[in-house]
Amino acid sequence: MTESVSPGSSGPSGRRRAKRPPTIHDVAAHAGVSRGTVSRVLQGGHNVSPALESVNAAIRSWATS
């Protein structure tokens, strides 16, 4: 099992992890959608209207942290 660590927080070893840009996986987990949905939103794809705002909110929260 892997431990989820936020960017910039201390990892399991107690060392500070370097802040990194979020991955599609990070955004999907934060938004509660699949990685494919995040990809479609970022590419301007069709059939993503219900997830669009949650994905954009997840991206905004990462951008401001």
Range of the domain at 51: 24-63
Q: Is residue 35 part of a domain?
A: yes
Judge whether 36 lies within some domain. yes
Helix (H, G, I), strand (E, B) or coil at 10: strand
Number of H helices, E strands in the chain: 3, 0
pTM equals 0.59
User: Residue 43's CB: how many other CB atoms inside 10 A?
Assistant: 9
Per-residue pLDDT tens digits for 2-54: 444 455 554 555 555 568 888 999 999 999 999 998 998 888 877 777 788 88
In 3D, which of 2, 63, 56, 65 has the Cα closest to residue 28? 56
**Residue 38 in 3-state DSSP?**
helix
With respect to residue 2, please indicate whether it lies within any of the assigned structural domains: no
The predicted structure's pLDDT at residue 5: 47
